[in-house]
């Protein structure tokens, strides 16, 4: 049985997803870097992992239980950052709630779903990628001065986590797991 490819993330509301998509499209048009368009705007909590479809329901049940015990919070995006020389992203302000959520998620994945230490994302630097992989070093050094001091500011509520699944060409939102609303 062929394994599916998944990852777990925070996904902003439609308005911010649309704004981020426009930024990603500008990177494709201006710098030939369209790889980031293969996924919706997101902040990764768990890097891509493989699971056989037979385990999909168990994974979803575990994520649903986990999310049901979490409280919502807000995420702020402000300005642009980079991982030189190939990645440009939107900066996330106030990392603490995201890092705590990721640590708790990591513990649950290890305990309840059999993730091995090699599969688990160790430490995250919360960000929202705009250009990666196919952004050449030369294009990076042209793009970064244009974005380094550019303004961008947005806030969105986080009321759940998302499981994304690869369809063979790009990433789709597969399921949302809502946090406890109280």
pLDDT at 1 over 70: no
CATH number at residue 104: 3.90.1140.10
Query: Residues for the chain: how many in total?
Result: 182
Question: Cα(165)–Cα(45) distance, rounded to whole angstroms?
Answer: 14
Lateral strand order in the sheet of 87-93: 127-131, 87-93, 73-83, 153-158
Q: What is the pTM of this model?
A: 0.96
Domain count, the chain: 1
Question: Cα(109)–Cα(51) distance, rounded to whole angstroms?
Answer: 13
Contact 35, 134 (CB under 8 A): yes
Residue (of 49, 53, 48) closest to 38 by Cα position: 48
Confidence of residue 123 (pLDDT cuts 50, 70, 90): confident
Tokens 């996924």 locate to: 39
pLDDT at 54 over 90: no
pLDDT at 85 over 70: yes
pLDDT at 77 over 80: yes
Q: Which domain does 89 fall in, by range? A: 4-178
């Amino acid at each position: 049985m062929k394994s599916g490819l998944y990852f777990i993330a925070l996904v902003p509301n439609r308005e911010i997803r649309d704004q981020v998509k426009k930024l990603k499209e500008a990177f494709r048009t201006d710098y030939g870097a369209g790889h980031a368009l293969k996924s919706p705007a997101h902040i990764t909590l768990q890097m891509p992992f493989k699971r056989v479809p037979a385990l999909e329901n168990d994974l979803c049940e575990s994520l649903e239980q986990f999310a049901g015990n979490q409280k919502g919070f807000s995420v702020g995006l402000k300005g642009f950052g980079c991982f030189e020389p190939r990645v440009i992203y939107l900066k996330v302000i106030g990392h603490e709630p995201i890092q705590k959520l990721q640590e708790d998620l990591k513990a649950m994945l290890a305990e309840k779903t059999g993730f091995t230490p090699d599969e688990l994302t160790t430490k995250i630097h919360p960000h929202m990628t705009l250009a990666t992989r196919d952004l050449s070093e030369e294009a990076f050094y042209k793009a970064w001065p244009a974005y380094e001091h550019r303004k961008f500011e947005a806030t969105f509520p986080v009321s759940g986590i998302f499981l994304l699944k690869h369809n063979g060409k790009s990433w789709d939102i597969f399921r949302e797991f809502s946090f406890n609303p109280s």
